[in-house]
Amino acid sequence: MSLLWQNEAFLHDYLIICAYLSLHADAVEIYPAGSSPYGTSNIGPGKLFTDTQAKWIWCNSAGGVSASIAIAATFTTTFLNTVAGAEALLNIIVDDIAEIYLNGVYITKVQWGWNNAEDYTNRPVRLTLATGTNTLSIRVQNTWVTAAALLASLVGSNGSTVLARTSNAWTYTVDAMGAPNAVEIYPAGSSPYGTSNIGPGKLFTDTQAKWIWCNLNASSGIAATFTTTFLNTVAGAEALLNIIVDDIGEIYLNGVYITKVQWGWKNSGDYANRPVHLALATGTNTLSICVQNTGGLAALLASLVGSDGCTIMARTSNAWTYTLD
């Protein structure tokens, strides 16, 4: 076996592991159970949700203020059961909708639960456990561009033995809510938009980014929102968004409107208000760019780099998804 082959095999496995870890990150604790914007009407001793040691969690630290509706987050934990035929009770409060899965099997769907007793319907959810290791997954969908969070506690059928509770020991994955993938229509440096501002030493340097759109032919007057997610592990980190757009791009980070830009391919004067500075959340961040075509061609070219100006965090490609507005 050659050393080259061994190195390539190692690199292949290493990249797979890195991809897995980037997709299965640790949840972020955003509030204690009894101290959050959701109040304590249903949370605390003698109330419907009694486990004050559980934490409100989300996939980034911004979730408690504003979260994207473009993604759903699935939170997962494992726990051990040694008693054949054992049952457990899942108490859960969620903003907004949660699908519950045990060992890969869909159980039920619940929503909300923090307002009052009438809001806490169909709970606790009764689960029949497998003997051995069990996997509990809860897929959470945020339906409004406001806060999003999950609070859950799993207890034995005696109502007191805690088997699992939400914390940063849970992991999460994100998905793009079934949106289709963007279409790559040109390489960065080979398009009708030319290279006046694109290339090494120019204003837009990332030649690995692709011009994208929702199809190969643009329609005048439509708007398309392109979305990607990326992981940030550094608290307080910032990033720089370089962007060229035909015609107008509204930029959102984690559901929060940041700014609006237009064009940018002609000359330095055309590349105004860029790069756009973004303050990242810890955990998974969702970057969305709503592009409006006012006539003729339409396309988006974007590259997000760390504040050092060189570490690529995201770039436009067919890995982005889109929705039509």
Instruction: Give tens-digit pLDDT for 136-182.
Output: 999 999 988 788 999 999 999 888 899 999 999 999 988 766 688 99
What CATH code would you report for 26-175?
2.60.120.260
pLDDT of 22 over the 50 cut: no
| Dihedral angle sign, alpha carbons of residues 275, 280, 284, 289 | negative
pLDDT of 9 over the 60 cut: no
Average pLDDT estimate for 185-195: 97
Type of residue found at 250: E
CATH topology of 26-175 equal to that of 183-324? yes
pLDDT in tens, 43-94: 999 999 999 999 999 999 888 777 777 778 999 999 999 999 999 999 999 9
Task: State the burial class of residue 154 (Cβ atoms within 10 Å of its Cβ: 0-12, 13-18, 19+).
Answer: buried
Average pLDDT estimate for 222-250: 94
The more confidently predicted of residues 156 and 13 is 156
Type of residue found at 246: D
Whole-angstrom Cα distance, residue 84 to residue 71? 37
For the chain, which residues make up each domain, given as ranges? 26-175, 183-324
* pTM for the model: 0.74
Report the DSSP beta bridge partners of residue 211: 186
**Tell me, what's the pLDDT at 25?**
83
Average pLDDT estimate for 110-120: 96
pLDDT of 191 over the 80 cut: yes
Q: Does domain 183-324 match CATH 2.60.120.260?
A: yes
Residue 17 backbone dihedrals phi, psi, to 5 degrees: -65, -45
Where is average pLDDT lowest: 17-31, 115-129, 190-204? 17-31
User: Which letter does DSSP use for residue 280 in this model?
Assistant: P
